[in-house]
Amino acid sequence: MREKFISLLVLLLSLSFHLPAQGQGEVVKKGEALDLQRCIRIALARHPAALSAASTVSVNESRIGQARAGYLPQVGISSSYTRTDPYTTPAGTISQQQGNVYNQYGSTITLNQNIYDFGKTAAQVEVQKLNTGSSRLDLDAVQKQIVFNVKQAYFNLLKSQKNMEVALEKVQQFNKRLDQAKGFFEVGVKPKFDVTKAEVDLSNARLDLIKAENALRIARSTLNNAMGYPDAPEFDTSRGDFAPQPYGMTFEEALQKAYQDRPERKSLATKRQSQEKTIELAKKNYYPNVTGTAGYGWGGQSFPWDEGWNLGATLNIPIFSGLSTKYQVDEARASLEVIKANEKTLRQDIYLELQQAYSNLREATDRITTTELAVRQAAENMELANGRYASGVGSPIEITDALVAYSNAQTAQAAAIYDHKIARASIEKAIGAP
């Protein structure tokens, strides 16, 4: 039997080492490809802000049970033991028979039951239910903010990857031009200036590549932090094709949907209802309450003990409490005004947030159209400049300008594409979309 118990214990311990830690979430392997939806799932499972908001919901759910406890009887048991050695009082009288040491035993079971409190317990339960509903909406708002942060960080990472590719291509182009300039110089076709100019351009391109690599590292760290996975190993991200499309909802439609569906607005509305109930609850402290009591006890100095019981009811009428109830009502009313002001502020913030998102979307859409043309024109100009230089009629400044213009056009196009994606994500977050 002892051997079986030890074997079972070893098995349980071995399993515990293989189980993932609570709250750890998904584990990403190095080099693994992650799309946007996978990053969002990881963030919702791991981010401490989501875990904190979920725990707040559990806290408020527990408070509902605490409030409901007022409906139930309160039962307690107490026991006492006293050993007494009588003494002589200063007046010279004897409080007990001198030298008669005795023991005193006692045990009591008591029951207290709220009979009627003018709805105070019911109001407390209702307040806690509303607070719990508000915390669930706060959890929803936190999750939507996490989703938006992941989208924004993901698209910025893709933009940084594209910028690094552009910077790397520019280094390769200038490196190629340096080799070309050296070849022309060696055969006496071009002066030394062309070689020096190509070397300077290559150095500047390498500096831009260093900056792009650093921006990529920062963008990756930002995405890891948005996922709640700061120590995530390096992973790959997928880009896919992108064709900009107008958002299928007008500003006015989006605004009405935001006012209706934003979890922050719903949460404040629920908080307002809770605070209105809190005012009613505070006013109930002016009212009396009736409590029933019952008890059964036994005790004495020796066995067998005597037994006894009691049964009764108590009416508690507040006469004067130092104006504490008045100030509690005043506090509750002031808190309600704070919530109402916060609701108005939120409506203004939603309006501004949507205005900015739609404006950014419109700007990004226009930039995409313009940068597509700029990239084509810059590519043609670079091809012409390379051809002119290869034929011996072009200048190094001309080809440098063409390469830089092509690189800048590619960078601007990447910024427009991913800013368009971020603007769409901003609209979705602003209207409370899942």
pLDDT at 370 over 70: yes
Q: Is the pLDDT of residue 14 over 70?
A: no
Tokens of 59: 């806290």
Q: What is the pLDDT of residues 102-125, one digit of tens each?
A: 788 889 999 999 999 999 999 999
Q: Identify the weakest region by mean pLDDT among 14-28, 37-51, 207-221, 411-425.
A: 14-28
In a domain, 234, yes or no: yes
For the record, the structure tokens of 236 come out as 């790959």
List the CATH number of the domain containing 407.
1.20.1600.10
In-domain check, residue 272: yes
What per-residue confidence (pLDDT) applies to 130?
96
**Of the candidates 295, 299, 296, 306, the residue with the CA atom closest to the CA atom of residue 104:** 299
Percent of the chain with pLDDT over 70: 89
pLDDT at 13 over 80: no
Residue range 135-157, pLDDT digits in tens: 999 999 999 999 999 999 999 99
Q: What would the pLDDT profile of 197-256 be if each residue is shown by its tens digit?
A: 999 999 999 999 999 999 999 999 999 999 999 998 888 887 666 666 777 889 999 999
Q: What is the mean pLDDT of residues 390-412?
A: 90
Query: What's the maximum distance between 2 C-alpha atoms anywhere in the chain?
Result: 133
Q: C-alpha angle 116/122/126, rounded to 5°?
A: 170
pLDDT band at 394 (very low <50, low <70, confident <90, very high): confident
Whether the predicted pLDDT of 9 surpasses 90? no
* 357 contacts: CB under 8 Å, gap ≥ 6: 423, 426, 427, 430
Specify if 68 maps to a domain.
yes
Instruction: Return the C-alpha torsion angle 318, 322, 323, 329, nearest 10.
Output: -70
Q: Could you tell me which residues come within 8 angstroms of residue 109 by beta carbon, excluding any fewer than 6 positions away?
A: 75, 76, 77, 295, 296, 297
* 274 vs 127: CA distance, rounded Å: 5
CB 275 within 8 A of CB 335: yes
Q: What is the mean pLDDT of the chain?
A: 88
Q: Are 209 and 164 in contact (CB under 8 A)?
A: yes
Q: Which residue has the higher pLDDT, 390 or 423?
A: 423
Angle (CA) 33 38 40, round 5°: 135
Instruction: Decide if 14 is inside a domain.
Output: no
**Residue 91 pLDDT level (bands cut at 50, 70, 90):** low
204 within a domain of the structure (yes/no): yes
27 pLDDT higher than 90? no
Domain annotation covers residue 23: no
**Residue 128 domain boundaries:** 32-74+117-287+320-430
From the number of C-beta atoms within 10 Å of its C-beta (0-12, 13-18, 19+), residue 208 rates as: buried
Task: Render pLDDT for 50-89 as a digit per residue (tens, 0 to 9).
Answer: 999 999 999 999 999 999 999 999 999 999 888 887 666 6
Within a domain: 22: no
**At 303, is the pLDDT very low, low, confident or very high (cuts 50, 70, 90)?**
confident
User: What's the domain count of the chain?
Assistant: 1
33 - beta bridge partners?
A: 236
Say if 3 falls within a structural domain: no
